Amino acid sequence: MRELTVKAVIENIQAVTEFVDEQLEMLNCPMKAQMQIDVAIDELFSNIAYYAYHPEVGEATVRVEVTEEPLAVIITFIDNGAPYDPLTSADPDISLSAEERQIGGLGIYMVKKSMDEISYEYQKGQNILKIKKQF
């Protein structure tokens, strides 16, 4: 298990992505799975940066774990910001055009669809969001 703790600011999305990608490359992660994970990191970390501590700035920890059977990566996002479960939001109606659709929700919808598992819990003052991708 490896962890990285950084300030929860948009400018750190690249550092978080590079940290996770480094772990994925050691596992010979397929490029498609890595790209899906990178999109998920962008969405989830940006949500923390924009909303968890607003208008203040706090820290976020990103943890990377590997499971063997089946081979998968679990990425956990941890922050001490305001409690927020993105999984409770209704999925957007993707049958509507972009102009007709409500603003918001598309990013977390894409994460739900591209990951094998996603879970959220609020424990001991922390938001804990986990995504799992098998490869």
The model's pTM is: 0.90
CATH of range 2-134; options 3.30.930.10, 3.30.1330.60, 3.30.565.10, 3.90.280.10:
3.30.565.10
Structure tokens of 114? 């591209």
Q: What is the pLDDT of residues 20-35, one digit of tens each?
A: 999 999 999 999 999 9
The answer for residues whose C-beta is within 8 angstroms of residue 72's C-beta and 6 or more apart is 66, 116, 132, 133, 134, 135
Confidence band (pLDDT; 50, 70, 90) for 93?
A: low
Mean predicted lDDT score pLDDT of the chain: 91
Q: Taking residues 108-128, report their average pLDDT.
A: 96
CA 73 to the chain's CA centroid = 12
**Residues 38-63: tens digit of each pLDDT:** 999 999 999 999 999 999 999 999 99
17: Cα within 13 Å, side-chain hemisphere = 18
